[in-house]
Amino acid sequence: MSSSSNLIDALFIFVLAGFIGFEVIRRVSPLLHTPLMSLTNALDAIAVVGAIVLVGEHKSSLSAALGFIAVIAATSNIVGGFLITDRMLRMFKSSRPAPKP
C-alpha cells in the first residue's frame, strides 16, 4: 500500500470518528460531564499501545527508555481513569426506588 493512500485512509477515519464523537458526546447528560472527562481520559490512554511497541521492539536504548516512561504514564491513566469514573458513577442515585435485583 502506498503511503499516500494510507494517509487518505487515516484522514477518513479521523474525520468520521470525530463526527461520531460529536454526535455521541452531544447526547451525554451535563450531569455526567465530570465522569465523561475521566472516561475519555482513560480511553485516550490507548496511546499505551504505541509505547508498548517501543519498549518491546527495543530498537534503541533511547526509544525503549522513553517508551518505558510512556507506558507507565498511560497505564496510570487507564487504571486511575476507569477506577475514578466507576466510583463517581456509583454515587449517582435516583430518588425513585431502584428496581430490586
Partner 1 sequence: MTAEFAGNQVVIEALYLIASVLFILSLKWMSSPTSARHGIWAGEAGMLLAICGTLLHHGIIDYRLIAIALVLGTIIGIPLGRVAMTAVPQRTALSHAFGALCVTLVGSAEFYLRTPDISRFMMSVLSIEVILGGLTFTGSLMAAGKLQEILPQRPLTYKGQNLVNFLLLAVALGIAVFLVMHPGARNLFPFMILIALAFGVLLIIPIGGADMPTVISLLNAYAGLSAAAMGFVLDSKLLIIAGALDGSSGLILSIIMSKAMNRSFTNVLFGAFGQVQTSAAAGQEERAVRSATAEEAAAILSAANKVIVVPGYGMAVAQAQHKVRELYDGLTKRGVDVRFAIHPVAGRMPGHMNVLLAEADIPYDRLVEMDEINGDFPATDVALVIGANDVTNPAARSDTTSPIYGMPILDVDKAHTVMVIKRSMNPGFAGIDNPLYYLDNTLMLFGDAKAFVGSIVRELSGGHG
Q: Which of residues 50-69 bind partner 1 (CB under 8 A)?
A: 50-60, 62-64, 66-69
What gap in Å lies between CA 82 and CA 78, rounded to an integer? 6
Q: Is 28 in the site for partner 1 (CB under 8 A)?
A: yes
Q: Is 83 in the site for partner 1 (CB under 8 A)?
A: yes
Please report how many Cα atoms fall inside a 13 Å half-sphere around the Cα of residue 48, on the Cβ side: 15
Q: Is 8 in the site for partner 1 (CB under 8 A)?
A: no
Q: Is 100 in the site for partner 1 (CB under 8 A)?
A: no
Q: How far is the CB of 100 from partner 1 (least distance, A)?
A: 15
Measured CA to CA in angstroms, residue 21 lies from 28, 34, 94 at distances of 11, 17, 27
Q: How far is the CB of 99 from partner 1 (least distance, A)?
A: 10
Cell numbers for 79, please give them.
Answer: 487504571
Q: How far is the CB of 56 from partner 1 (least distance, A)?
A: 3
Cell numbers for 28, please give them.
Answer: 451525554
